[in-house]
């Protein structure tokens, strides 16, 4: 199976506000960098969008290690998702899951891969996370 490393980050200037994302896809010794922005969004939406955009780039089923500084994304995919689905996309407090469409897209994209979701502390010197943050900020500046 194809082995891929993905690094992602997203952020906003204000929350909500102008937001951007950056991702690095590393496979076969090559890095592909992608960035994008939206004029009015949230941090969490940009974090999720980074992962979605990166996963959409992969043409074949892969063994992926996806590293992000978003506990929201990691916990959503590894802890909360099964309960949300079981509860009809409601939280434990019976509220609708925020960003449901994005969660469903992440779930769909994830099904064809084997993904290890890894959290790293943001702004803490992790080389690829810092680069993804830089890409996200560049994308916001280009709006």
Q: Whose CA is closest to 45, among 129, 136, 143, 138?
A: 136
- Rounded CA separation 69/1 (Å): 26
Is 38 annotated in the active site?
Answer: no
Helix axes 43-56, 127-141, angle to 10 degrees: 110
Give the active site residue among 20, 47, 113, 128.
Answer: 47
Give the active site residue among 20, 69, 113, 128.
Answer: 69
Is 10 annotated in the active site?
Answer: yes
pLDDT at 90: 96
Give the active site residue among 9, 76, 113, 128.
Answer: 9
CB under 8 Å to 139, separation ≥6 — which residues?
Answer: 20, 21, 22, 35, 36, 37
Q: What is the mean pLDDT of residues 88-111?
A: 96
Residue 94 has pLDDT above 90, yes or no: yes
Q: What is the CA radius of gyration of the chain?
A: 15
- Rounded CA separation 143/47 (Å): 18
Whole-prediction pTM value?
A: 0.97
Query: What mean pLDDT, rounded, does the chain reach?
Result: 97
Q: Whose CA is closest to 73, among 98, 37, 39?
A: 98
Q: Peptide bond before 39: cis, by omega within 30 degrees of 0?
A: no
Give the active site residue among 63, 83, 123, 142.
Answer: 123
Q: What is the mean pLDDT of residues 121-134?
A: 96
Is 36 annotated in the active site?
Answer: no
pLDDT at 1: 83
Residues 33-90: pLDDT tens digits? 999 999 999 999 999 999 999 999 999 999 999 999 999 999 999 999 999 999 999 9
- Rounded CA separation 100/112 (Å): 20
Residue 11 has pLDDT above 90, yes or no: yes
pLDDT at 98: 97
Is 47 annotated in the active site?
Answer: yes
């Amino acid at each position: 199976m194809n082995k891929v490393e993905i690094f992602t980050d997203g952020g906003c200037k204000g929350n909500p506000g102008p937001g951007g994302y950056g991702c690095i896809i590393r496979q076969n010794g090559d890095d592909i960098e992608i960035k994008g922005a939206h004029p009015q969004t949230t941090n969490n939406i940009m974090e999720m969008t980074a992962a979605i955009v990166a996963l959409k780039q992969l043409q074949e089923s892969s063994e992926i290690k996806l590293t992000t500084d978003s506990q929201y994304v990691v916990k959503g995919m590894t802890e909360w998702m099964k309960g949300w689905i079981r509860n009809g996309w409601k939280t434990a407090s019976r509220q609708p899951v925020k960003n449901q469409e994005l969660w469903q897209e992440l779930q769909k994209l994830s099904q064809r891969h084997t993904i290890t979701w890894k959290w790293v502390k943001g702004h803490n010197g992790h080389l690829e996370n810092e680069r993804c943050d830089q890409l996200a900020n560049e994308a916001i500046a280009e709006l």
